[in-house]
Amino acid sequence: MLSIFGGLQNFFLGPTILVILGFGFIGCAVVALVLSPLFRYRASTEVTYGYTTLDDSYQYVEQLDPIGGRTIRAAGDSFLDGATKRARIECGFDLSAEGLAPAVSAERAVTAFPSRVKRTRLQWFFWGLGFIAAAAAVCLRLGLLKV
């Protein structure tokens, strides 16, 4: 039987793959731990100035378009779903006092993309575990890992 990998099936790479996956997991965790306080600081600074660019946080301040800076949700209004947010950004919706663009409702605006699903950190954690398990299963199937 011919091997696609030209004899790699007899080469034992188990510890190497596990070390690479382990360092990748540790590296991602360190990056997340380092960047998390920076993002929290930015969010708290925005709220101090009376606005936010985050989607589902700080309902008591107005939400700005993160790129254009236009007000897309007034303070105290309910959070915007993904389709409404995209529609307001695309059509130039602006609630601020100096906003000159006409306000168009989300029902009249056409959006091409489905709304984004918000995932929790626990869901991302399990997604990552599933990805690692899938990679390990592929390595086992190819004979790169030996149990």
Has residue 20 been placed in a domain? no
User: In this predicted model, what pLDDT tens digit does every residue of 68-117 receive, in sequence order?
Assistant: 788 888 888 888 888 888 888 888 887 776 555 444 344 443 443 344 55
Position 112 scores a pLDDT of 37
Has residue 22 been placed in a domain? no
Has residue 66 been placed in a domain? yes
Please name every residue paired with 62 in a beta bridge, in sequence order, or none if there are none. 51
> What is the domain extent for residue 89?
49-116
Give the count of domains, the chain. 1
Q: Are 64 and 71 in contact (CB under 8 A)?
A: yes
Has residue 40 been placed in a domain? no
Q: Which of 125, 122, 123, 147 is nearest to 137 (CA)?
A: 147
Has residue 65 been placed in a domain? yes
Q: Are 104 and 93 in contact (CB under 8 A)?
A: yes
Position 123 scores a pLDDT of 84
User: In this predicted model, what pLDDT tens digit does every residue of 15-69 receive, in sequence order?
Assistant: 777 788 888 889 888 888 888 887 788 788 888 888 888 888 888 888 888 887 8
Has residue 53 been placed in a domain? yes
Has residue 110 been placed in a domain? yes
Has residue 79 been placed in a domain? yes
